[in-house]
Structure 1
Amino acid sequence: MQTLDDLVEDLVDRYSGDKEHPGDGGPGLIHRLDTLGLRSRQPRDAGHAPPGSRPPTSLEAVNWAQRIKVEAISLDMRLRGSAHTQSWYRAMKAIPPGAENADRVSEVTRTVGRWHGTVLTVLGLRGPSVHFRHALCLACGERTVYGRADDDRPRAWCINDACEDGDTQAPARYEGTRLYLLTENRASAQAAD
Protein backbone atom coordinates (compact mmCIF):
# COMPACT_ATOMS: atom_id res chain seq x y z
CA MET A 1 0.00 0.00 0.00
CA GLN A 2 1.32 3.41 -0.93
CA THR A 3 1.68 6.23 1.55
CA LEU A 4 -0.19 9.50 1.15
CA ASP A 5 3.00 11.19 -0.08
CA ASP A 6 3.50 8.45 -2.71
CA LEU A 7 -0.09 8.72 -3.94
CA VAL A 8 0.20 12.50 -4.33
CA GLU A 9 3.57 12.10 -6.07
CA ASP A 10 2.00 9.65 -8.57
CA LEU A 11 -0.91 11.99 -9.25
CA VAL A 12 1.06 15.22 -9.57
CA ASP A 13 4.71 14.72 -10.48
CA ARG A 14 5.80 11.29 -11.68
CA TYR A 15 4.00 7.94 -11.84
CA SER A 16 6.34 5.56 -10.03
CA GLY A 17 3.76 3.20 -8.45
CA ASP A 18 4.68 0.76 -5.69
CA LYS A 19 6.65 -2.48 -5.36
CA GLU A 20 3.79 -4.73 -6.51
CA HIS A 21 2.58 -2.39 -9.26
CA PRO A 22 5.51 -0.31 -10.51
CA GLY A 23 4.76 2.72 -12.63
CA ASP A 24 6.55 3.71 -15.79
CA GLY A 25 8.28 6.80 -14.34
CA GLY A 26 6.44 9.02 -16.80
CA PRO A 27 4.51 12.20 -16.11
CA GLY A 28 1.99 12.45 -13.28
CA LEU A 29 -1.38 10.78 -13.72
CA ILE A 30 -3.38 14.04 -13.66
CA HIS A 31 -1.21 15.44 -16.48
CA ARG A 32 -1.95 12.28 -18.45
CA LEU A 33 -5.68 12.79 -17.95
CA ASP A 34 -5.38 16.41 -19.06
CA THR A 35 -3.55 15.54 -22.28
CA LEU A 36 -5.50 12.37 -23.07
CA GLY A 37 -8.61 14.32 -24.04
CA LEU A 38 -6.66 16.40 -26.55
CA ARG A 39 -5.59 13.48 -28.73
CA SER A 40 -7.77 12.50 -31.65
CA ARG A 41 -7.45 10.63 -34.90
CA GLN A 42 -9.41 13.00 -37.08
CA PRO A 43 -8.12 13.81 -40.57
CA ARG A 44 -6.05 16.99 -40.75
CA ASP A 45 -7.47 18.05 -44.08
CA ALA A 46 -11.04 17.80 -45.24
CA GLY A 47 -11.88 14.27 -46.20
CA HIS A 48 -12.33 10.89 -44.65
CA ALA A 49 -10.42 9.40 -41.76
CA PRO A 50 -8.19 6.46 -42.66
CA PRO A 51 -9.67 3.00 -42.01
CA GLY A 52 -9.13 1.74 -38.47
CA SER A 53 -8.75 5.16 -36.93
CA ARG A 54 -10.57 5.95 -33.72
CA PRO A 55 -12.97 8.78 -33.02
CA PRO A 56 -11.72 11.50 -30.66
CA THR A 57 -11.18 10.45 -27.05
CA SER A 58 -14.22 11.11 -24.91
CA LEU A 59 -14.18 14.00 -22.51
CA GLU A 60 -14.48 11.59 -19.58
CA ALA A 61 -10.75 11.85 -18.83
CA VAL A 62 -10.79 15.65 -18.80
CA ASN A 63 -13.93 15.65 -16.63
CA TRP A 64 -12.29 13.34 -14.10
CA ALA A 65 -9.15 15.51 -14.04
CA GLN A 66 -11.21 18.63 -13.36
CA ARG A 67 -13.27 16.91 -10.68
CA ILE A 68 -10.18 15.67 -8.83
CA LYS A 69 -8.58 19.11 -9.04
CA VAL A 70 -11.67 20.77 -7.57
CA GLU A 71 -11.90 18.14 -4.81
CA ALA A 72 -8.18 18.61 -4.02
CA ILE A 73 -8.63 22.37 -3.65
CA SER A 74 -11.64 21.85 -1.39
CA LEU A 75 -9.89 19.22 0.72
CA ASP A 76 -6.83 21.46 1.12
CA MET A 77 -9.05 24.34 2.27
CA ARG A 78 -10.75 22.12 4.86
CA LEU A 79 -7.45 20.74 6.14
CA ARG A 80 -6.00 24.23 6.49
CA GLY A 81 -9.24 25.64 7.91
CA SER A 82 -9.03 28.50 5.44
CA ALA A 83 -11.40 30.11 2.95
CA HIS A 84 -8.51 31.00 0.64
CA THR A 85 -7.87 28.76 -2.35
CA GLN A 86 -4.62 27.70 -3.97
CA SER A 87 -3.96 26.36 -7.44
CA TRP A 88 -4.82 22.67 -7.75
CA TYR A 89 -1.12 21.76 -7.94
CA ARG A 90 -0.20 23.60 -4.73
CA ALA A 91 -3.33 22.30 -3.02
CA MET A 92 -2.50 18.71 -3.94
CA LYS A 93 1.10 19.09 -2.72
CA ALA A 94 -0.19 20.62 0.56
CA ILE A 95 -2.55 17.73 1.32
CA PRO A 96 -0.04 15.37 3.05
CA PRO A 97 1.30 17.94 5.54
CA GLY A 98 -2.22 19.31 6.03
CA ALA A 99 -3.54 15.84 6.83
CA GLU A 100 -0.76 15.33 9.38
CA ASN A 101 -1.45 18.68 11.03
CA ALA A 102 -5.19 17.92 11.18
CA ASP A 103 -4.52 14.35 12.40
CA ARG A 104 -6.61 12.93 9.53
CA VAL A 105 -3.97 10.96 7.61
CA SER A 106 -5.91 7.68 7.27
CA GLU A 107 -9.11 9.39 6.12
CA VAL A 108 -7.27 11.59 3.61
CA THR A 109 -5.20 8.63 2.37
CA ARG A 110 -8.43 6.78 1.53
CA THR A 111 -9.74 9.82 -0.39
CA VAL A 112 -6.51 10.37 -2.34
CA GLY A 113 -6.25 6.60 -2.90
CA ARG A 114 -9.73 6.66 -4.45
CA TRP A 115 -8.61 9.46 -6.81
CA HIS A 116 -5.48 7.48 -7.67
CA GLY A 117 -7.48 4.33 -8.43
CA THR A 118 -10.01 6.24 -10.51
CA VAL A 119 -7.28 7.82 -12.62
CA LEU A 120 -5.57 4.46 -13.18
CA THR A 121 -8.90 2.98 -14.30
CA VAL A 122 -9.79 5.89 -16.62
CA LEU A 123 -6.33 5.76 -18.21
CA GLY A 124 -6.69 2.01 -18.75
CA LEU A 125 -3.69 1.20 -16.55
CA ARG A 126 -5.93 -0.96 -14.35
CA GLY A 127 -9.18 -2.78 -14.97
CA PRO A 128 -12.45 -1.54 -13.50
CA SER A 129 -13.82 -2.85 -10.24
CA VAL A 130 -16.91 -5.07 -10.20
CA HIS A 131 -19.91 -4.97 -7.86
CA PHE A 132 -20.37 -8.28 -6.04
CA ARG A 133 -24.18 -8.07 -6.10
CA HIS A 134 -24.81 -11.23 -4.13
CA ALA A 135 -22.07 -10.89 -1.53
CA LEU A 136 -22.87 -9.51 1.90
CA CYS A 137 -20.15 -7.57 3.67
CA LEU A 138 -18.95 -9.61 6.64
CA ALA A 139 -18.66 -6.46 8.79
CA CYS A 140 -21.87 -4.53 8.05
CA GLY A 141 -24.07 -7.12 6.32
CA GLU A 142 -24.87 -4.86 3.34
CA ARG A 143 -24.57 -5.68 -0.36
CA THR A 144 -21.94 -2.98 -0.86
CA VAL A 145 -18.92 -5.10 -1.78
CA TYR A 146 -16.82 -4.33 -4.85
CA GLY A 147 -13.72 -6.13 -6.02
CA ARG A 148 -11.03 -6.52 -8.60
CA ALA A 149 -9.66 -9.83 -9.86
CA ASP A 150 -6.09 -8.81 -10.70
CA ASP A 151 -3.89 -11.81 -11.50
CA ASP A 152 -1.36 -10.96 -8.82
CA ARG A 153 -3.69 -9.79 -6.05
CA PRO A 154 -7.45 -10.44 -6.11
CA ARG A 155 -9.22 -8.30 -3.52
CA ALA A 156 -12.56 -6.84 -2.51
CA TRP A 157 -13.75 -3.99 -0.30
CA CYS A 158 -16.93 -2.56 1.17
CA ILE A 159 -17.96 0.92 0.01
CA ASN A 160 -20.45 1.53 2.82
CA ASP A 161 -19.15 4.58 4.75
CA ALA A 162 -20.94 3.35 7.89
CA CYS A 163 -19.07 0.01 7.77
CA GLU A 164 -16.52 -0.43 10.54
CA ASP A 165 -14.33 -3.50 10.37
CA GLY A 166 -13.03 -4.33 13.84
CA ASP A 167 -10.50 -1.96 15.32
CA THR A 168 -9.71 -0.23 12.02
CA GLN A 169 -12.83 1.99 12.09
CA ALA A 170 -12.76 1.77 8.27
CA PRO A 171 -14.86 -0.18 5.75
CA ALA A 172 -13.95 -3.85 5.40
CA ARG A 173 -11.26 -5.06 2.99
CA TYR A 174 -10.92 -8.65 1.78
CA GLU A 175 -7.75 -10.38 0.56
CA GLY A 176 -6.35 -13.89 0.76
CA THR A 177 -8.31 -16.29 2.96
CA ARG A 178 -10.67 -13.52 4.00
CA LEU A 179 -11.69 -13.10 0.35
CA TYR A 180 -12.54 -16.81 0.33
CA LEU A 181 -14.78 -16.27 3.37
CA LEU A 182 -16.56 -13.52 1.45
CA THR A 183 -17.26 -15.89 -1.44
CA GLU A 184 -18.57 -18.48 1.03
CA ASN A 185 -20.84 -15.76 2.42
CA ARG A 186 -22.06 -15.15 -1.13
CA ALA A 187 -22.97 -18.81 -1.54
CA SER A 188 -24.91 -18.87 1.74
CA ALA A 189 -26.66 -15.59 0.85
CA GLN A 190 -27.81 -17.02 -2.51
CA ALA A 191 -29.16 -20.13 -0.80
CA ALA A 192 -31.18 -17.91 1.56
CA ASP A 193 -32.68 -15.85 -1.30
Structure 2
Amino acid sequence: MQTLDALVADLVDRWTGDEQHPGDRGPGLIARLDQLALRTAQPRQAGGRSTPSSRPPASLDPVHWSTSIKAQARILDMQLRGSSHMQRWDRALKALPAGAEATGRVREVASTVGTWHSTVRTVLGLQAPSREMRGVRCLVCGQAAIHCRPDDDRPRAWCVNPDCEDEETGRPARYSGTRLYLLTRNTGQ
Protein backbone atom coordinates (compact mmCIF):
# COMPACT_ATOMS: atom_id res chain seq x y z
CA MET A 1 0.00 0.00 0.00
CA GLN A 2 1.40 3.35 -1.03
CA THR A 3 1.59 6.35 1.26
CA LEU A 4 -0.52 9.43 0.61
CA ASP A 5 2.58 11.31 -0.59
CA ALA A 6 3.43 8.52 -3.06
CA LEU A 7 -0.13 8.37 -4.40
CA VAL A 8 -0.14 12.14 -4.99
CA ALA A 9 3.29 11.97 -6.67
CA ASP A 10 2.02 9.21 -8.99
CA LEU A 11 -0.98 11.34 -9.96
CA VAL A 12 0.86 14.63 -10.45
CA ASP A 13 4.58 14.08 -11.12
CA ARG A 14 5.72 10.62 -12.23
CA TRP A 15 4.04 7.23 -12.06
CA THR A 16 6.53 5.20 -10.03
CA GLY A 17 4.07 2.97 -8.18
CA ASP A 18 5.21 0.46 -5.56
CA GLU A 19 6.25 -3.20 -5.39
CA GLN A 20 2.69 -4.42 -5.93
CA HIS A 21 1.78 -1.85 -8.59
CA PRO A 22 5.03 -0.96 -10.38
CA GLY A 23 4.91 2.13 -12.55
CA ASP A 24 6.96 2.95 -15.62
CA ARG A 25 8.40 6.21 -14.24
CA GLY A 26 6.69 8.08 -17.07
CA PRO A 27 4.44 11.15 -16.80
CA GLY A 28 1.97 11.44 -13.94
CA LEU A 29 -1.30 9.57 -14.29
CA ILE A 30 -3.46 12.69 -14.64
CA ALA A 31 -1.17 14.04 -17.37
CA ARG A 32 -1.71 10.74 -19.19
CA LEU A 33 -5.48 11.27 -19.02
CA ASP A 34 -5.07 14.78 -20.39
CA GLN A 35 -2.71 13.74 -23.21
CA LEU A 36 -4.71 10.81 -24.57
CA ALA A 37 -5.17 11.30 -28.27
CA LEU A 38 -8.88 11.80 -28.72
CA ARG A 39 -8.57 11.41 -32.45
CA THR A 40 -11.42 12.39 -34.72
CA ALA A 41 -13.16 9.93 -36.99
CA GLN A 42 -11.15 9.11 -40.10
CA PRO A 43 -11.30 12.02 -42.58
CA ARG A 44 -12.60 11.49 -46.13
CA GLN A 45 -9.11 11.54 -47.66
CA ALA A 46 -8.23 8.52 -45.47
CA GLY A 47 -11.32 6.58 -46.57
CA GLY A 48 -13.61 7.71 -43.76
CA ARG A 49 -16.96 9.45 -43.93
CA SER A 50 -16.35 12.50 -41.78
CA THR A 51 -14.44 15.72 -41.94
CA PRO A 52 -11.36 16.16 -39.74
CA SER A 53 -12.12 17.29 -36.20
CA SER A 54 -15.85 16.66 -36.62
CA ARG A 55 -16.28 14.46 -33.52
CA PRO A 56 -14.21 12.26 -31.26
CA PRO A 57 -14.68 8.54 -31.96
CA ALA A 58 -13.14 7.57 -28.65
CA SER A 59 -14.73 7.64 -25.25
CA LEU A 60 -14.64 10.92 -23.38
CA ASP A 61 -14.10 9.05 -20.08
CA PRO A 62 -10.46 10.18 -19.73
CA VAL A 63 -11.44 13.84 -20.04
CA HIS A 64 -14.38 13.37 -17.68
CA TRP A 65 -12.28 11.66 -15.01
CA SER A 66 -9.42 14.14 -15.29
CA THR A 67 -11.79 17.09 -14.87
CA SER A 68 -13.66 15.42 -12.02
CA ILE A 69 -10.55 14.48 -10.04
CA LYS A 70 -9.03 17.94 -10.49
CA ALA A 71 -12.23 19.62 -9.25
CA GLN A 72 -12.57 17.23 -6.28
CA ALA A 73 -8.92 17.78 -5.33
CA ARG A 74 -9.36 21.55 -5.35
CA ILE A 75 -12.49 21.34 -3.18
CA LEU A 76 -10.88 18.88 -0.74
CA ASP A 77 -7.81 21.12 -0.45
CA MET A 78 -10.04 24.13 0.33
CA GLN A 79 -11.83 22.14 3.04
CA LEU A 80 -8.58 20.95 4.61
CA ARG A 81 -7.16 24.47 4.64
CA GLY A 82 -10.44 26.02 5.79
CA SER A 83 -10.09 28.58 3.02
CA SER A 84 -12.34 29.95 0.30
CA HIS A 85 -9.33 30.46 -2.02
CA MET A 86 -9.07 27.76 -4.68
CA GLN A 87 -5.58 26.74 -5.84
CA ARG A 88 -4.58 25.27 -9.19
CA TRP A 89 -5.38 21.55 -9.33
CA ASP A 90 -1.74 20.40 -9.19
CA ARG A 91 -0.93 22.60 -6.19
CA ALA A 92 -4.13 21.49 -4.48
CA LEU A 93 -3.24 17.83 -4.96
CA LYS A 94 0.32 18.35 -3.70
CA ALA A 95 -1.04 20.17 -0.62
CA LEU A 96 -3.38 17.32 0.39
CA PRO A 97 -0.87 15.29 2.47
CA ALA A 98 0.09 18.28 4.63
CA GLY A 99 -3.52 19.41 4.95
CA ALA A 100 -4.67 15.92 5.89
CA GLU A 101 -1.99 15.62 8.55
CA ALA A 102 -2.77 19.06 9.98
CA THR A 103 -6.48 18.25 10.30
CA GLY A 104 -6.06 14.63 11.44
CA ARG A 105 -7.86 13.29 8.35
CA VAL A 106 -4.97 11.30 6.84
CA ARG A 107 -6.90 8.01 6.63
CA GLU A 108 -9.91 9.61 4.93
CA VAL A 109 -7.83 11.63 2.45
CA ALA A 110 -5.57 8.65 1.68
CA SER A 111 -8.66 6.57 0.91
CA THR A 112 -10.03 9.26 -1.41
CA VAL A 113 -6.72 9.78 -3.23
CA GLY A 114 -6.26 5.99 -3.45
CA THR A 115 -9.65 5.74 -5.14
CA TRP A 116 -8.64 8.43 -7.66
CA HIS A 117 -5.34 6.61 -8.27
CA SER A 118 -7.10 3.30 -8.91
CA THR A 119 -9.75 4.94 -11.09
CA VAL A 120 -7.16 6.65 -13.29
CA ARG A 121 -5.20 3.41 -13.73
CA THR A 122 -8.43 1.61 -14.68
CA VAL A 123 -9.49 4.31 -17.18
CA LEU A 124 -6.01 4.23 -18.76
CA GLY A 125 -6.16 0.45 -19.04
CA LEU A 126 -3.23 -0.05 -16.66
CA GLN A 127 -5.31 -2.36 -14.46
CA ALA A 128 -8.45 -4.42 -14.91
CA PRO A 129 -11.74 -2.95 -13.66
CA SER A 130 -13.10 -4.21 -10.36
CA ARG A 131 -16.18 -6.38 -10.23
CA GLU A 132 -18.88 -6.86 -7.61
CA MET A 133 -18.94 -10.27 -5.91
CA ARG A 134 -22.69 -10.78 -5.66
CA GLY A 135 -23.95 -12.70 -2.66
CA VAL A 136 -20.56 -12.75 -0.91
CA ARG A 137 -20.55 -11.24 2.57
CA CYS A 138 -17.64 -9.46 4.21
CA LEU A 139 -16.04 -11.50 6.99
CA VAL A 140 -15.63 -8.35 9.10
CA CYS A 141 -18.90 -6.41 8.78
CA GLY A 142 -21.18 -9.12 7.35
CA GLN A 143 -22.49 -6.92 4.51
CA ALA A 144 -22.73 -8.05 0.88
CA ALA A 145 -20.43 -5.22 -0.22
CA ILE A 146 -17.45 -7.03 -1.69
CA HIS A 147 -15.66 -6.00 -4.89
CA CYS A 148 -12.78 -7.87 -6.47
CA ARG A 149 -10.11 -7.49 -9.10
CA PRO A 150 -9.60 -10.91 -10.69
CA ASP A 151 -6.02 -10.43 -11.91
CA ASP A 152 -4.30 -13.64 -12.96
CA ASP A 153 -1.15 -12.89 -10.99
CA ARG A 154 -2.69 -11.39 -7.85
CA PRO A 155 -6.45 -11.74 -7.30
CA ARG A 156 -7.79 -9.63 -4.42
CA ALA A 157 -11.04 -8.38 -2.96
CA TRP A 158 -12.14 -5.64 -0.58
CA CYS A 159 -15.21 -4.41 1.25
CA VAL A 160 -16.76 -1.20 -0.06
CA ASN A 161 -18.92 -0.63 3.04
CA PRO A 162 -17.62 2.66 4.53
CA ASP A 163 -18.57 1.49 8.04
CA CYS A 164 -16.44 -1.68 7.77
CA GLU A 165 -13.33 -1.53 9.95
CA ASP A 166 -10.79 -4.35 10.05
CA GLU A 167 -9.20 -4.72 13.51
CA GLU A 168 -5.69 -5.03 12.07
CA THR A 169 -5.72 -2.03 9.75
CA GLY A 170 -8.61 0.14 10.95
CA ARG A 171 -9.78 0.35 7.33
CA PRO A 172 -12.38 -1.61 5.34
CA ALA A 173 -11.42 -5.28 5.03
CA ARG A 174 -9.14 -6.45 2.22
CA TYR A 175 -8.73 -10.05 1.06
CA SER A 176 -5.99 -11.94 -0.79
CA GLY A 177 -4.39 -15.38 -0.66
CA THR A 178 -6.02 -17.84 1.76
CA ARG A 179 -8.18 -15.10 3.20
CA LEU A 180 -9.68 -14.59 -0.26
CA TYR A 181 -10.51 -18.30 -0.41
CA LEU A 182 -12.31 -18.05 2.96
CA LEU A 183 -14.26 -15.07 1.66
CA THR A 184 -15.49 -16.92 -1.43
CA ARG A 185 -16.80 -19.70 0.84
CA ASN A 186 -18.83 -17.11 2.79
CA THR A 187 -21.84 -16.66 0.52
CA GLY A 188 -24.12 -15.92 3.49
CA GLN A 189 -27.38 -17.51 2.37
TM-score normalized by the length of structure 1: 0.88
Does 1:9 find its partner at 2:9? yes
Cα distance in 2 for partners of 1:47, 1:167 equals 59
Does 1:40 find its partner at 2:39? yes
Cα distance in 2 for partners of 1:110, 1:67 equals 16
Aligned to 2:125: 124
- Maintained 8 Å contact 1:131/1:146: yes
Deviation string 1:143-192 (CA, Å, 9 cap, x unpaired) is 11001122332111111112222254321111222111101102xx3xx3
Cα shift at 1:42: 2.9
RMSD of aligned Cα (Å): 1.8
Deviation string 1:91-116 (CA, Å, 9 cap, x unpaired) is 00101111111122121111100000
Cα shift at 1:46: 4.8
Cα distance in 1 for partners of 2:106, 2:129 equals 26
Alignment-mate amino acid for residue 121 of structure 1? T
Alignment-mate amino acid for residue 25 of structure 1? R
Deviation string 1:106-142 (CA, Å, 9 cap, x unpaired) is 2111110000000000000000001000101112211
Q: Whose strand fraction is larger, Structure 1's or Structure 2's?
A: 2
- Maintained 8 Å contact 1:41/1:49: no
Alignment-mate amino acid for residue 27 of structure 1? P
Bigger mean CA offset, 19-28 vs 107-116: 19-28
Aligned to 1:19: 19
Aligned to 1:162: 163
SS state at 2:161 partner:
coil
Question: Percent identity over the alignment?
Answer: 57
Alignment-mate amino acid for residue 17 of structure 1? G
Bigger mean CA offset, 112-121 vs 139-148: 139-148
Moved over 4 A (4+): 44-47
- Maintained 8 Å contact 1:164/1:171: yes
Task: Give structure 2 stretches of 5+ with no counterpart.
Answer: 50-55
Cα distance in 1 for partners of 2:72, 2:21 equals 26
* Pairs within 5 Å for 1:95-174: 95-166=96-167, 168-174=169-175
Deviation string 1:2-47 (CA, Å, 9 cap, x unpaired) is 11111111101111111222111111110111122x4315335556
SS state at 2:149 partner:
strand
Task: Give structure 1 stretches of 5+ with no counterpart.
Answer: none
SS state at 1:24 partner:
strand
Aligned pair count? 183
SS state at 1:147 partner:
strand
Cα distance in 1 for partners of 2:22, 2:163 equals 32
Aligned to 2:53: none
Cα distance in 2 for partners of 1:153, 1:136 equals 21
